[in-house]
Amino acid sequence: MHSWTSDALALLTANQPAAMVTILSAEGSTPRDMGVRMIVTPDRTFGTIGGGNLEHIAIGQARALLDLPAGAWRVQDYPLGPLLGQCCGGRIRLLLEKLQGADQDWIARVQSRLDRGDSFSLTTRFAEGRLHRTFVGDGQSAQVRGPRPEIGDTLLETFASDRPRILLFGYGHVGRALSHVLETLPFRSEIYDTRPQADDDATVRMVGQDEAVGVSRSAGRSDLVLIMTHDHALDYRLTLAALRGEGGFVGLIGSATKRARFVRRLRDDGVAEEALARLCCPIGLDGVEGKQPEVIAVSVAAQMLILRGTLLAGTSGVETLPHRLVVGV
């Protein structure tokens, strides 16, 4: 899945002019939440802050920055109803900045840490003609009607990965279709297959059955395990390993009959009822009919998005946790 970090780095590496729009704070009904970013070039945009008149105006403001010296920035407030005629009715504060080559370092560090699933903090210090980023800081929560960032202020952003890890075992027709859907969604997917014919796709990790079982056993509580191999015996080994481990969700492709048979064997192998509650078979959303690989893939992907929301529950925001503003530091 493309992100603002990968888009920004690609443009900066190619020495292409680019600006970034960040939602600093949002109040009331708004199309996107704080922390969401969009990259703007003279003729293209990457990502979205919600569309509509707000985005149209923000794109124009961002492109105007491209004519200014590197590092130029602006903070803009938008009441969506009175000013922009959007029925959302909320208020949004935006930070617009012209990116420069020096920004590659901190953006690459953000991308690397999010790819690892890390949580971390980043400060932005507002200076004349320049924004300075570091990975430390603290402060008070910023509000859309609170003090606007001024020169000398420091903004703190606390990031947490919004891309849960999916361990997908099996690259047959359904696994292949599902992997293509997951590429476009906010997940970190690892795909494993034990068959040599799966090596036509560089994203697939070719492993032996024992190694695959070890990976399944090592799944963490925030990981989503999806099992859909060509071999029912291997499916069982992977399911048993995941349930003996801490995998937060264990999805098994198959019928209700397959589930009943597996559950009997799992109980015989000492798997507790509490662990069995983590097993979902068949996988996918109820009510979605069709056995085509693409239909199953969309159904499973939608189920993963619902689970993602559950995993992220308790965090404020999705792409970024709350901004904090240290005034006058």
* Residue whose tokens read 């597996």: 262
Nearest one of 160, 159, 148 to 325, comparing CA atoms: 148
Q: Report the length, in residues, of the chain.
A: 329
Q: Render pLDDT for 2-58 as a digit per residue (tens, 0 to 9).
A: 689 999 999 999 999 999 999 988 888 777 888 889 999 999 999 888 877 888 899
* Contact present, 286 and 164 (Cβ < 8 Å): no
**pLDDT (mean) for 194-204:** 70
| d(C-alpha 81, C-alpha 91), whole Å | 8
pTM of the model: 0.62
Torsion, Cα 129 134 140 143, to 10 degrees, reads 50
**From CA 194, how far away is CA 174, in angstroms rounded?**
15
- Residues with Cβ within 8 Å of 291's Cβ and at least 6 positions away in sequence, in order, are none
Q: How far apart are CA 203 and CA 210, in angstroms?
A: 20
Q: Which CATH superfamily is domain 165-283 in?
A: NAD(P)-binding Rossmann-like Domain (3.40.50.720)
- Sequence-ordered list of residues with C-beta below 8 angstroms from that of 245, at least 6 positions apart, any chain: 216, 217, 218, 219
pLDDT of 131 above 80: yes
- For the stretch 153-166, pLDDT in tens is 888 877 766 678 89
- The overall longest dimension of the chain from CA atoms, in Å, is 70
Tokens at residue 182, please? 């997951």
Helix or strand holding residue 19 (H, E) = strand 19-27
Mean residue pLDDT of the chain comes to 84
CATH 3.40.50.720 domain position(s) in the chain: 165-283
pLDDT band at 148 (very low <50, low <70, confident <90, very high): confident
Q: Is the pLDDT of residue 139 over 60?
A: no
Does 69 have pLDDT greater than 60? yes
